[in-house]
Structure 1
Amino acid sequence: MTSTVDAIDATAVGDASAFFEQVVLACKPLILRGACRDWPVLTAARQSDARLFEYLNASASERAAEAFAGDAGIAGRYHYAEGLDGFNFERRTLPVRDALAAVAECAAAGDRGDLYLGSLPADSYFPDFAAANMLPWLPPKVGPRLWVGTASTVACHYDRFDNVACCIAGERRFTLFPPDAIGDLYVGPIDHTMAGQPVGLAVGSAPGDPRYPRFEAWRDDALIADLAPGDALYMPKLWWHQVEARGRVNLLVNYWWDAFAAGPDSPFTAMMLAMATLAERPAGERAAWRAFFDHYVFRPERHPLEHLPPERHGILGPLDQNRGRIRAMVMQWLRGGR
């Protein structure tokens, strides 16, 4: 049976340190009710769709933006075409003000298809937006991105970064699955995607779909997060989420950042390199490497050198002191040195 994501009143969260301790550190989704209640853009959206577009146009730049356009037949569900060799929508590049006007026209017409603008960095497209509409909990360099369009469903995917998604216009439903569902979501290609991330092809399928038998174990175990305008959702990285925008006009503002970053390297990069070197070795050798990864990387029970005094831990000592040494060693090996 599906269940709902836990929720708290955003006023219970204090400063950035409290946000990290109370929300981020648990690595679980959490709804923050009223997180954006004082934003000027929310005030505009509550007045009318026209007022919202006036607000956005007032600070819009001259840059062109990429829009997803779908005909009425897809009912706002942006996805692959049959056979996964293409998509059921087209991409259009328009000046951002023209794109906003096109969204407004689609919303008013109701039967001319759908239009969707996604992941527009505010500093490039709406330069005054960030200063006027702020979340107090995030690092100063983490900027907002805007997602505006008609009713739509974005296919179930994950992000490589932690995410705070703020609902401003229209209601949003997030359908979430934990990272360990990955093997049963029937994930599509990594390098042929709709918007950068692979998607769970089984999510949204009809019950009993013979193409996705393993998904039945998860179908009724999704977590649901329903956001009203002014609410926000914190999602840890790697959580799968399908996003439904349910209003005639919808605006979401989100922030991506790595809450636990301590260096320039990405865990995803490490995973891809591990895949290239390990994925097709014999099963027995893969099992051996899995034991080494558990021991040195994931450490489910203990530090790998807990039996030695700290001064003998060498490069396996505290990462904040040894990350550079490890990185230099790896770079030397990648260049062919030993």
Structure 2
Amino acid sequence: MAAAIAELDREALTDAGAFRRLLVEPCQPAVVRGLCADWPVVRAAAQADGALADYLDRFATDRPGEIFVGAPDIAGRYFYDDGLEGFNFERREVPLREGLRQILARAETPGDGTVYMGSLPASSYVPGFEADNALPFMPQGVVPRIWLGNASHVSCHYDTFENLACVVAGRRCFTLYPPDAIGDLYVGPIDRTLSGPPVSLAASAPEGDPRYPRMAQARARAMTVELLPGDALYLPKLWWHQVEATAPFNMLVNYWWDAFSAGPDAPMTAMMLAMIAIAERPAAEREAWRAYFDHYVFQREGHPLAHLPEAQRGLLGPLRQGNYARIRALVMQQLRGG
């Protein structure tokens, strides 16, 4: 049986240090009940859908954003079409106020289909919202994002950043899979996606689908949690998550950031470079490179130059002592053919 998702008392998150130590550094999913229950936007949502829309309208700009428009027959399950060549929904660009109007209209007449509007940076679409609905322990410069829609099913995917998801209106059911379940999830294309990251094809398929026999192993490890308005879920990067919003009108606010970045370069970029440098080499050579990655990158047996004094470790010394810039310059030079 899969382990339950840990729950953390919101009173323990007294400051940024406690937030990092208790929630982020363990690198495990955790629920914080009532974390944002005192937000004005959550109180507005508790009154009525219209009150929430009026609250957002106070801040809304005219900047257009992308919406997904789904026909009634997909029941809010935004996904690929049957041939994986296209998608089962339509994309449009509308200002936030118009998106809200369409979402509210379909909430009242669900037979007309569904609308979903997501990943809207609050600073661009609802300036002033963040100051009114603050999480003081969030790292400096992390911008909240707004997600709105009717009842929906967001396909199982991962993020390459830490993610704190705060439910404002409606209920959200999260189903989580650990990063090492990737081989059991039958992931779709990485360059033709619904909206950014690739998604699991198997997680959205009926249980027992013969095309995805290993999905049973992933389901045995799945963790599921339901969040109510005011609740929050912390997700470490690369954890797979499927999200179901069950109310006719739903809103979520999330934060993405890299809690452990040493500089501007991203691990996913390094992995994609490794795809072209290593992935199609002979199997024996790939295994040899695996040994070197384990030794120098993953450091399964400790620092690769632990047998030397720190002052003699050269480029393998601490990144913060100038080695980040030195390694980056060396890599850039080699990529340019220098």
Same fold (TM over 0.5): yes
- Name the structure 2 match of 1:72: 72
Contact (CA 8 Å) 1:2, 1:224: kept in 2 or not? no
Structure 1 unaligned blocks of 5 or more: none
Aligned partner of 1:133 in structure 2 is: 133
CA distance in 2, matches of 1:64, 1:197: 22
Q: Residue 107 of structure 1 aligns with which residue?
A: 107
Determine if contact 1:170/1:247 at 8 Å carries over to the other structure. Answer: yes
Other-structure match for 2:275:
275
Between 1:214-223 and 1:172-181, the stretch displaced more is 214-223
1:324 matched to 2:325:
yes
Name the residue aligned to 1:261.
261
TM-superposed CA distance for 1:172, in Å, is 0.4
Residue equivalent to 1:86: 86
- Whether 1:285 and 2:285 are equivalent positions in the alignment is yes
Give the Cα separation in 1 of the matches to 2:23 and 2:108: 39
What is the 5 A alignment of 1:287-326?
Answer: 287-321=287-321, 322-326=323-327
Letter in 1 for 2:149: G
| Deviation string, structure 1 residues 85-135 (Cα, Å, up to 9, x no partner) | 010100111122111101000001121000000101101100110110011
Alignment of 1:19-98 (within 5 A): 19-98=19-98
Measure, in 2, the Cα distance between the counterparts of 1:96 and 1:182. 35
1:307 offset after TM fit, Å?
0.9
Question: What amino acid sits opposite 1:135 in the alignment?
Answer: L
Give distance in 2, aligned partners of 1:14 and 1:36.
Answer: 14
User: Secondary structure in 2 aligned to 1:60?
Assistant: coil
CA contact (8 A) 1:164 1:255 kept: yes
Deviations along 1:223-264, one digit per CA (max 9) or x if unpaired, are 112111000000000000000011111000000000001101
- Maintained 8 Å contact 2:59/2:129: yes
| Offset, 1:145 | 0.3
Counterpart amino acid of residue 282 in structure 1: P
Amino acid of the residue matched to residue 183 of structure 1? G
- The question of 1:145 aligning with 2:165 is answered no
Gaps of 5+ in 2: none
Shift of 1:64: 1.0
User: Is 1:335 aligned to 2:328, yes or no?
Assistant: no
Q: Mean Cα displacement is larger for which, 215-224 or 287-296?
A: 215-224
Query: d(CA) in 1 for partners of 2:167 and 2:2?
Result: 22
Q: Residue deviations 1:211-232, cap 9 Å, x none?
A: 0011111113201121110000
Q: What amino acid does structure 2 have at the position aligned with 1:152?
A: S
Q: TM-score, normalised by structure 2?
A: 0.98
1:95 and 1:257 mapped to 2: Cα distance? 26
Q: What secondary structure is seen at the aligned counterpart in 2 of 1:262?
A: coil
| 1:199 maps to amino acid | V
User: Is the deviation greater in 13-22 or in 2-11?
Assistant: 2-11
Question: 1:259 corresponds to which letter in structure 2?
Answer: A
What corresponds to 2:217 in structure 1?
A: 217
RMSD of equivalent CA atoms:
0.9
Please state how far the C-alpha of 1:3 moved relative to its aligned partner: 4.6
Q: Which residue of 1 aligns with 2:229?
A: 229
Contact 1:173–1:244 (8 Å) recurs in 2: yes
- Structure 1 equivalent of residue 121 of structure 2: 121
CA–CA distance in structure 2, aligned partners of residues 308 and 110 of structure 1:
67
CA contact (8 A) 2:151 2:244 kept: yes
How far, CA to CA, are the matches of 1:10 and 1:164 in structure 2?
13
Q: Which amino acid aligns with 2:87?
A: F
Distance 2:86 2:198 in 1: 14
Residues of 1 paired with 2:2 and 2:328: CA distance? 43
Percent of matched pairs sharing the same residue: 58
Amino acid at match of 2:279: A
Separation in structure 2 between the aligned mates of residue 65 and residue 211 of structure 1, nearest angstrom:
36
